[in-house]
Structure 1
Amino acid sequence: MDFCSMIRTHIDPTTGCKIAYTPHGRFIHIPPSFPRTDWANDFGRPWWKDDSYCVGILSKKTRFIKIINTLTSQEQVIEVCSEEIMSEILDRYVTYNAHAASYTWKYNGKNLEMDKTLEDNTVSDEDEEFYKLSMNDDDFLPAIHLYFNDDLTEA
């Protein structure tokens, strides 16, 4: 059974065999650590390889951004995926401001293009640089500023 590609494994110190790493106990479709005659392995595809259970796509990298509403001075820090475009970020930000679409989104004084990612909008990810410099990147989050358009026609 090939569970190595999706389930974390380790070398069992007792047997020296590669087995599933399940520190909180086995779960469905995980074979026992030792050979057993009462374990049926005829269940077909294990659940973690069943595409019908897919609830999302794993991001290459996530990052935190600060969104500042210049009208109310409220700030929200949210985690976003590197693949998300600005309109998708706006859709998630609506929980904090129902009229977020009535704002102009800017970074460093430039309007952001809502059909592009943060990187495409020159909002660079400097996490690696902060790591190399042993700096806390939480103190230097890129700030997206929202400017009210005085147009509540968009909900």
Structure 2
Amino acid sequence: MQRPKYFTPKEVSQHNTLEDLWVSFLGKVCDLTPLVTEHKGDVLIRPIVECAGKDISNWFCPKTKDIRTHVDPLTCCVKYFTPRGRFVHVPPPCPRTDWANDFEMPWWRDHQYEVGLLSAKTRWVRIVNTLTAQKQILEVCSEEILDEILQKYLKYNSHAASYTWKFEGLNLDMSRTLSENGVIRDDEDEDEELCRSHVEQDLFIPSICLYFNDDLTEF
């Protein structure tokens, strides 16, 4: 089974234009560019465009995975709660003849838009090239394995696969995550220890050392 691709909130935020529009909600990351293109000029697409690159989990009920609802105090009827305005695939509050409901599935339930998952927790890691002494600090997803982190690091060093990755002198298993390799402790205990020590978490960044294998590989 193919591993899901994880994204940091910062990576999602970079897709914030009409030509490249992503959002995240309920742990999913969706590319809504095709939806925006299909409904270009429609006022119902405006709330989505306004939230381009952002997390919109507050639009949805975690239990039902559907749009939040509320009871209208005037009519006592259950209605969709859309404080930013009604958007695509949300029916109008009252019956109307000009609203088409012939779409097969609302976009928030349609898997065709999903491109990956939002990381539950991101971590900072320092990668040190012992051959050149270059250092690079990356924000990565705690769910990513080292091979996936390597792919992110390739833009800084196209020969990254020709190095042995080590932490505190031990070879890292590239098919495992940072926590599985013992580089970080992916739990709340580490955060509590840093707090008790009066050390900011962002200042405590583990270093992974790269040792050249004399076997150039370029992707």
Q: Which amino acid aligns with 1:80?
A: V
Moved more, 71-80 or 128-137: 128-137
Q: 2-side partners of 1:146 and 1:26: how far apart?
A: 51
Counterpart check, 1:27 vs 2:91: no
Selected match of 2:114 from 51, 54, 57: 54
Aligned to 1:130: 191
Q: Which amino acid aligns with 2:142?
A: S
Q: Distance in 2 between matches of 1:105 and 1:84?
A: 15
Alignment of 1:112-151 (within 5 A): 112-125=172-185, 128=188, 129-130=190-191, 133=195, 135-151=199-215
| Greater shift in the superposed pair: 127-136 or 50-59 | 127-136
Unmatched 5+ stretches in structure 2: 1-59
Give 1:96 deviation, angstroms: 0.7
In structure 1, distance between residues paired with 2:206 and 2:72: 46
The alignment's TM-score, normalised by the length of structure 2, stands at 0.57
Q: 1:26 to 1:131 in 2, by over 3 A?
A: farther
Shift of 1:115: 1.6
TM-score by length of 1: 0.76
Q: Check if 1:89 corresponds to 2:149.
A: yes
Higher helix content, 1 or 2:
2
Q: Percentage identity across aligned positions?
A: 51
Secondary structure, counterpart of 2:116 in structure 1: coil
1:100 aligns with 2:160: yes
Partner of 1:73: 133
Contact 1:7 1:20 in 2 (8 A): no
For structure 1, the residue ranges without an aligned partner over 5 or more in a row are none
In structure 2, the CA distance between the partners of 1:87 and 1:29, relative to structure 1 (3 Å rule), is same
Change (3 A) 1:107 1:22: farther
Task: Tell which deviates more after alignment, 41-50 or 130-139.
Answer: 130-139
TM-fit CA distance, 1:126? 5.9
Q: Deviations over 1:51-95 (max 9, x none)?
A: 111111333433221112122222222222223221121122111
1:14, distance to aligned residue in structure 2 (A): 6.3
